[in-house]
Chain A
Amino acid sequence: MSDHNDPNDNSTGHEWDGIRELNNPPPKWWAWGFYLGLTFVTLYYIIYPSTPLNNGFQKVINGVTGMEVLVDGHSKGIMAMVNSNPYYKGETWTQAEIDGFKAKGHAELSIKAGDLKYQDGWTAINEMRDDVADIEAVRAGYIEKLAGMSAQQIIADDEMRNFALGRARVLFGDNCAACHGSGGQGTLNKAHPGNSFPNLTDDDWLYGGWTDKIAETITEGREAEMPAKGGNDELTDANVDSLAQFVVALSEGSAALNDDGNLTRGASTFASANVLFQETCAACHSASGKGSLIGSADSYGGAANLTDSIWRFGGDMKTVRDTIANGRKGTMPSFAEKLDETSIKILAVRIHQFGGGMNSDPTE
């Protein structure tokens, strides 16, 4: 190349600050690439809608409101000419929809039943609708089948269970994981125990872990409240301390209660604490301390089982004392407005299948 670049050869004769210009032609491959680019752009503009045209403004029916709107005229591209609707097998208006618009006062509609709802031919949004339709076609069979099955039936059917669990991944991630963790493991917030959320993967349930009950919890939401001092204002700080020690002992196994509320272990140490417990706490947590669901067969109470080692807000002495002294609130929002019935059923299957799901209603 250096012979082409000889300063004494082939120069334009211009010079600025010692910089000279050679009169070489552009490299051939560059020139061909340049023409190829221009050819590409020409073809691209013939194939795709690309050119604004003054072909009168087009009237297009807005797919949502049914109103006629004006859009700029433009070339539609070969894609639309070869086949009026190569991508999207468009939805059409029904007479009922048109009557609905007329009832709302849109009297001057020119659309008829059977007209395409959207502009036909290739458009980016039709291409998207087409992609969505492909995916929907795969899903549709499963979704339809799923709608007619109970959660128990879904769990029993390998294929449908796998479909539901696959579908639940994003449903759970988008709706539940923010509080309950990406794997349903919940959160135990040591610094702010009130911001803790239940673990869904264990077999300890506040309201019930069979699929119907889980679906009910998701649909209706839950409002739980543990009142300060169990609602008993007469409890002294010393009472709270001894109750906290008793509750921790119940969890650790150094104290135990039978169904009638009598101490079967730790009687010497916790006799007076148990009196307080039976007066103040047993109404919700049951005489045995096993909580409303197991101890009282009440699936609406939401009072925790205090005899296992699973803690909703934390089981260290300081947190337990704080819980008793100041109370706790728990809110599970209702998803009835946000998710359809099938999605809630799928989530119930997902949560049941984390491993701790109950097979039947133990309160019956």
Chain B
Amino acid sequence: MSTVAAKEEYNYDIVKFCVLTGIVMGVIGTAVGTYIASELAYPWLNLDIAEISFGRLRPVHTNTVIFGFGGFLLYGAGFYMVQHSTHARLRFEKLAWAAVALWLISMICMWITLPLGMTQSKEYHEPEWWIDLMMAVSWVFMTIVYLATIANRKMSHIYIANWFFMTMLFMVTYIFTFNGMCIPVDMTFSYSAYAGIHDAMTQWWWGHNAVGFFLTAGFIGVMYYFVPKHANRPIYSYRLSVLHFWSLTFLYVWVGAHHLHYTAIPDWTLSLGAGMSVALIFPSWGGMINGMMTMSGAWDKLRTDPVMRFMVVALAFYGMSTFEGPLMGTKSVNALSHYTDWTVGHVHSGALGWNAMIAIGAMYHMITRMWNTEMASAKLINMHFWVHLTGAVLYITAMWGSGVLQGLMWRAFDSYGNLVYTFADSVAAMHPFYALRAFGGFLVFVGFCIMLYNTLKTVSAVKAGSNVALSAAAKA
């Protein structure tokens, strides 16, 4: 048994700040998401105001949930687990705070500039160049803090969670930087450094790896620390973790091209992307299997512990999304799914099912450990779980339905070889699905509100001294 540093020596202040900010980001991001989803079902909701129309608010939603909610979870959970898994206090704490502050300022600037129409028009990379720069500097600070803390570790081996986190830190740094290359005109506008298909290809090299590294490698890292820790079981297979770490890291960088099937990108590039996508199924599943098998002997916790339930259902969604994605990345399935809501459904099965649920699980875990308390209401965690899950399932199934219907309507011919439907027909047919999707998204938003309420109540109970302290078993 190695010596564990007294937990009082860890820097929890920064983690607490990130977790609370992350929850607020979750509330804001899903509120905006619910609003724009409602705009699609009921277009009058944009009130003829350009700044709140779907096109302007959509990147506010995506950036707030991915880089706001997801980002603060990664910063918070990263700072938490790097200390716990190295038994060392955070290095360069001022730099860490600067990273967090810059990230928050970037989010606020993004909320202002995007509705005003200042955008680089690159999906998941919309904020203008100067916001990009702040985010990049923040990320590099985070990387320095993380690596320095690992260098300070009290044992020889580096835990697998940290491998995944480090591969995310490296890959996101260079892919974000290269995709963001541009020639600024002024504070509100810039030209991409790339033209035509090179711009498209670079964009999806980033676009898919924001998913592949930010939302997968980073979150798998989070999973690798919080699932065994919360279940109090050892990781099932060291060898599996090594195999799927290297294969996932190698394969993910290739697959961005599958976003551009049937475009002007050369066929050989698209085949490369499609092939690697299919080969990626099992490396992705490695993480799911290792997490699930780690649960062996602790499955009974699912009945009693809603936080464990969040984590395990997240893994199930992860397995489902990483099977669906490669299928959609092949040419023949993509011919149907491209440009349809199926893509939106797929993204949300990953985002609401996998990312949000593992993040929420990790957040509840950290809150109870850092404040050394039970949550104010276990019932509310349970309610959050069911509301979130129902919302996610409604959202995903609505988008599957509408996506496949769209794809089929666009390619439907009658026996004379005539198109059966106009584009407007397909838009009209989407209405019930869009209404259902908005309702699903609303439930997810309600879930986040429950979480925020429960968290604030817990923290204020701790301040008042009226909380129930965590049991010694859970504390270990």
Binary flags per residue of A183-197, CB closer than 8 Å to B gives 1, else 0: 000000000000000
Contact of A48 with B271 in the complex, beta carbons under 8 Å: yes
User: Which residues on B sit within 8 Å (CB–CB) of A162?
Assistant: 416
Distance in angstroms between the alpha carbons of A30 and B233 in the assembled complex: 21
Asked if B424 is at the interface (CB within 8 A of a chain A CB), the reply is yes
Interface residue from A14, A38, A167 paired with B279 (Cβ < 8 Å):
A38
| Segment touching A, from B132-140, B165-173, B282-290 | B282-290
User: Which residues on A sit within 8 Å (CB–CB) of B420?
Assistant: 166, 169-170
Contact of A34 with B424 in the complex, beta carbons under 8 Å: no
Majority-rule SS of A interface residues: mixed
- Count residues of chain A with CB under 8 A from any CB of chain B: 61
Distance in angstroms between the alpha carbons of A37 and B280 in the assembled complex: 7
Distance in angstroms between the alpha carbons of A132 and B252 in the assembled complex: 34
Interface residue from B282, B289, B417 paired with A136 (Cβ < 8 Å):
B417
Contact of A45 with B297 in the complex, beta carbons under 8 Å: no
Contact of A174 with B422 in the complex, beta carbons under 8 Å: yes
Contact of B228 with A19 in the complex, beta carbons under 8 Å: yes
Distance in angstroms between the alpha carbons of A124 and B271 in the assembled complex: 10
Asked if A269 is at the interface (CB within 8 A of a chain B CB), the reply is no
Binary flags per residue of B305-347, CB closer than 8 Å to A gives 1, else 0: 0000000000000000000000000010000000000000000
Q: How many A-B residue pairs have CB under 8 A?
A: 194
Distance in angstroms between the alpha carbons of A235 and B362 in the assembled complex: 80
User: Which residues on B sit within 8 Å (CB–CB) of A77?
Assistant: 271
Contact of B279 with A17 in the complex, beta carbons under 8 Å: no
Binary flags per residue of B272-295, CB closer than 8 Å to A gives 1, else 0: 101110111111011001000110
Contact of B261 with A50 in the complex, beta carbons under 8 Å: no
Contact of B239 with A25 in the complex, beta carbons under 8 Å: yes
| Segment touching A, from B32-40, B48-56, B105-113, B240-248 | B240-248
Contact of A12 with B416 in the complex, beta carbons under 8 Å: no
Contact of A24 with B85 in the complex, beta carbons under 8 Å: no
Asked if B234 is at the interface (CB within 8 A of a chain A CB), the reply is yes
Interface residue from B1, B86, B243 paired with A34 (Cβ < 8 Å):
B243
Interface residue from A21, A26, A177 paired with B424 (Cβ < 8 Å):
A177
- Minimum C-beta distance from B286 to chain A (A): 7
Distance in angstroms between the alpha carbons of A72 and B267 in the assembled complex: 11
Binary flags per residue of B227-240, CB closer than 8 Å to A gives 1, else 0: 01100111111111
User: Which residues on A sit within 8 Å (CB–CB) of B293?
Assistant: 1, 5, 24, 27
Asked if B456 is at the interface (CB within 8 A of a chain A CB), the reply is no
Contact of A41 with B235 in the complex, beta carbons under 8 Å: no
User: Which residues on A sit within 8 Å (CB–CB) of B2?
Assistant: 15
Asked if A49 is at the interface (CB within 8 A of a chain B CB), the reply is yes
Contact of A169 with B419 in the complex, beta carbons under 8 Å: yes
Asked if B266 is at the interface (CB within 8 A of a chain A CB), the reply is yes
Q: Name the interface residues of B403-446: CB closer than 8 Å to any CB of A.
A: 413-425, 428
Contact of B286 with A170 in the complex, beta carbons under 8 Å: no
Distance in angstroms between the alpha carbons of A137 and B159 in the assembled complex: 62
Asked if B157 is at the interface (CB within 8 A of a chain A CB), the reply is yes
Contact of B84 with A17 in the complex, beta carbons under 8 Å: yes
Given known contacts A30-B240, A44-B274, A7 and B418 CB-to-CB distance under 8 angstroms: no
Given known contacts A15-B1, A24-B237, A24-B240, A34 and B247 CB-to-CB distance under 8 angstroms: yes
Asked if B98 is at the interface (CB within 8 A of a chain A CB), the reply is no
Interface residue from B271, B280, B421 paired with A170 (Cβ < 8 Å):
B421
Asked if A106 is at the interface (CB within 8 A of a chain B CB), the reply is no
Asked if B378 is at the interface (CB within 8 A of a chain A CB), the reply is no
Distance in angstroms between the alpha carbons of A139 and B274 in the assembled complex: 33
Contact of A139 with B229 in the complex, beta carbons under 8 Å: no
Asked if A18 is at the interface (CB within 8 A of a chain B CB), the reply is yes
User: Which residues on B sit within 8 Å (CB–CB) of A286?
Assistant: none
- Minimum C-beta distance from B158 to chain A (A): 9
Closest residue of chain B to A121 (Cβ to Cβ) is: B267
Contact of A167 with B416 in the complex, beta carbons under 8 Å: yes
Distance in angstroms between the alpha carbons of A50 and B275 in the assembled complex: 9
Asked if A92 is at the interface (CB within 8 A of a chain B CB), the reply is no
Interface residue from B239, B270, B286 paired with A124 (Cβ < 8 Å):
B270
Contact of A24 with B236 in the complex, beta carbons under 8 Å: yes
User: Which residues on B sit within 8 Å (CB–CB) of A174?
Assistant: 422-423
Contact of B282 with A169 in the complex, beta carbons under 8 Å: no
Distance in angstroms between the alpha carbons of A26 and B421 in the assembled complex: 50
Closest residue of chain B to A346 (Cβ to Cβ) is: B418
Contact of A26 with B278 in the complex, beta carbons under 8 Å: no
Asked if A101 is at the interface (CB within 8 A of a chain B CB), the reply is no
Distance in angstroms between the alpha carbons of A15 and B428 in the assembled complex: 58
Contact of A22 with B422 in the complex, beta carbons under 8 Å: no
User: Which residues on A sit within 8 Å (CB–CB) of B12?
Assistant: none
User: Which residues on A sit within 8 Å (CB–CB) of B423?
Assistant: 173-174
Q: Name the interface residues of B43-98: CB closer than 8 Å to any CB of A.
A: 84-87
Asked if B191 is at the interface (CB within 8 A of a chain A CB), the reply is no
Contact of A45 with B419 in the complex, beta carbons under 8 Å: no
Interface residue from B155, B266, B422 paired with A16 (Cβ < 8 Å):
B155
Distance in angstroms between the alpha carbons of A38 and B246 in the assembled complex: 14
Asked if B476 is at the interface (CB within 8 A of a chain A CB), the reply is yes
Interface residue from B235, B262, B283, B424 paired with A173 (Cβ < 8 Å):
B424
Asked if A354 is at the interface (CB within 8 A of a chain B CB), the reply is no
Given known contacts A44-B271, A52-B268, A21 and B241 CB-to-CB distance under 8 angstroms: yes
Contact of B235 with A37 in the complex, beta carbons under 8 Å: no
User: Which residues on B sit within 8 Å (CB–CB) of A173?
Assistant: 421-425
Chain A residues with a Cβ under 8 A of chain B: 1-2, 4-5, 7, 11-12, 14-27, 30, 33-34, 36-38, 40-41, 44-45, 48-52, 71-72, 74-75, 77, 122-124, 128, 135-139, 142, 162-163, 166-167, 169-170, 173-174, 177, 182
Q: What are 10 pairs between A and B in contact, CB < 8 Å?
A: A4-B236, A18-B476, A19-B159, A21-B234, A26-B237, A34-B243, A44-B274, A44-B278, A166-B420, A167-B418
